[in-house]
Amino acid sequence: MKARVITVTSGKGGVGKTTLTANLGVALAMQGQRVVTIDADVGLRNLDVMLGLENRIVYDLVDVVEGRCQLRQAMVHDKRLSELFLLPAAQTRDKSAIKPEDMLRVCEDLRERCDFVLIDSPAGIEQGFRYAIAPADEVIIVTNPEVAAVRDADRVIGLIEAEEQGSSRLIINRIKPDMVRRGEMLSIADVVELLAIDLIGIVPEDQAILITANRGHPLAFSSNSSPTGQAFHNIARRLRGEDVPFVPLREPGMLERLFRFWRLGGSIL
């Protein structure tokens, strides 16, 4: 095995890096790929709770880097999917604990053991971002269709180009088709034109994301439940080199919304 290392980053915080990393990890593993997700947000870890693996952490990334354990001891195996693993971040340390060379070394070891390494980068463009992109073969830039997120994405794209850090592709997250239709939100075409990089995914806004995050059971597990779940699987297939056409955005009808709300365990009262 010779894994591809892919870093998910955005510049701005809160655009959905961790949610995307969790769901892409699940989608790739469901497609039979062996995946290791790495939480690079030392001090503010959250990939563990997104994946529902927070109670199973024994060692973390900093323990590996500082030699307190073997790499495989720190990897948490997701029991729901035989091919999915998490290398958690340390919660009680800060980003100065990791250097770019440390990430290179860890990823070099992982390359032999899996198909994909997905690194969830911290927000910002400081140290944490630097070590998160250091081992990347490819970078996924996440943005939302809003002014601040697009601006920060552009800055990050510039930095990655300057570092010559492999190819970067764009995911536009949390798009609201009805707002785009009314002209009250930047469209996919607007964002792609402004940032001038290749698109790898469009993810529509979905309340189910919050519901599934509440439960620690990413939406990608139920791939056919919604356009958003399907979007994660389409991105995973594109990452594997498949040519998957982009689905035109559509707005769910009232009945469909209600039905999905119930199925995901929502309650009206």
Residues engaged in binding another protein (CB under 8 A): 146-147, 150-151, 154-155, 158, 179-180, 182-187, 190, 194, 196
Give least dist CB 183 to another protein, A: 3
Spell out the residues 6+ positions from residue 179 whose beta carbon is closer than 8 angstroms to its own: 185
Residue type at 57? Answer: I
Give least dist CB 24 to another protein, A: 27
Q: Which of 145, 122, 173 is nearest to 11 (CA)?
A: 122
Strand-pair category, 76-77 with 84-87: antiparallel
- Cα separation, 247 vs 64, in Å, equals 41
3-state secondary structure of 140: strand
- Cα distances from 77 to residues 80, 96, 168, in angstroms, run 9, 27, 28
Phi, psi for residue 59 in degrees, rounded to 5: -115, 165
- Cβ proximity to another protein, 192 vs 211, nearer residue: 192
- Cα separation, 162 vs 147, in Å, equals 23
- Cβ proximity to another protein, 2 vs 182, nearer residue: 182
3-state secondary structure of 200: strand
Strand-pair category, 138-143 with 116-120: unpaired
- Cα separation, 217 vs 23, in Å, equals 9
- Cβ proximity to another protein, 54 vs 146, nearer residue: 146
Helix (H) / strand (E) element for 1: namely none
Spell out the residues 6+ positions from residue 40 whose beta carbon is closer than 8 angstroms to its own: 7, 61, 89, 98, 103, 119, 120, 121, 122, 128, 131, 132
- Cβ proximity to another protein, 54 vs 190, nearer residue: 190
3-state secondary structure of 217: coil
- Cβ proximity to another protein, 115 vs 152, nearer residue: 152
Give least dist CB 130 to another protein, A: 19
- Cα separation, 229 vs 32, in Å, equals 17
- Cβ proximity to another protein, 124 vs 229, nearer residue: 124
Give least dist CB 86 to another protein, A: 35
Give least dist CB 137 to another protein, A: 22
- Cβ proximity to another protein, 164 vs 243, nearer residue: 164
Give least dist CB 106 to another protein, A: 33
Give least dist CB 178 to another protein, A: 12
